[in-house]
Amino acid sequence: MNQLSDEQLFGRYRQGDTDALRTLILRYEGDLFRFLFRLLGDKAAAEDVFQETFLQVHVSQDTFDPERRFRPWVFTIAANKGRDYLRRKGRRFAVELSAPVGGSSDGEGAGGATFVDLLAIDVPSPDASMDREDRERLVQRALGGMSPTLREVLLLAYFQRLSYAQIADDLGIPLGTVKSRLHAAVASFARNWERVSREGGTAAGEEREP
């Protein structure tokens, strides 16, 4: 199943193959989790929003256009869920993850599988060198010093690698606004990176977009 494309896997899931969704979850747990961690700055929140994302993938499966790529779609859902989390930060999620799932939203053909089963994945602990860990910590501090609006557009452009037009469509803002925000985001990150590198990772004050 690992040889199948994302779109083929999701097509199989929509036909009732729950193993196909499990494969997609495992395929995205690295990139998508890192995206959410950088966006939210909190591991527990990233884990929650990761689960929320794939719950939404299940609920919204009938809206997916099979002529489009799966990756931008799932990252857009994740970005929206992350934005929702930031708006209601401090409040608990009220999401039912124990409902049966399958190839359709009514759960038929699921064989008793639930989202709790499908999402029972372990996020591996980093096994890289200390130098890489230090760099990651500094990157996260630099991102944490940015406003959520600038951080989001920076991650969509450089992590998800969406085009300006895709970002404008996903965020519902004009193309010119995307360009100006991204320019401000790059400058903000550069300033924060210089500061946290110089200070050895001490917390930087949050910057607001112009």
> Residue 209: pLDDT above 50?
no
Domain boundaries, position 73: 6-118
Q: Are residues 22 and 112 in the same domain?
A: yes
Q: Are residues 21 and 94 in the same domain?
A: yes
**Domain limit, last residue, from 86, 118, 150:** 118
More confident residue, 90 or 133: 133
Residue 171 lies in a domain: yes
User: Would the pTM count as exceeding 0.75?
Assistant: no
> Residue 114: pLDDT above 90?
no
Residue 91 lies in a domain: yes
Q: Are residues 111 and 146 in the same domain?
A: no
Tell me, what CATH number does 57's domain have? 1.10.1740.10
Task: Give the DSSP letter string of the chain.
Answer: -TTS-HHHHHHHHHTT-HHHHHHHHHHHHHHHHHHHHHHHS-HHHHHHHHHHHHHHHHHTGGG--TTS-HHHHHHHHHHHHHHHHHHTTTSPP-----SB--SSTT-TT-TT-BHHHHT----PPP-S-HHHHHHHHHHHHHHHTS-HHHHHHHHHHHTS---HHHHHHHHT--HHHHHHHHHHHHHHHHHHHHHHHHHTSPPPPPP---
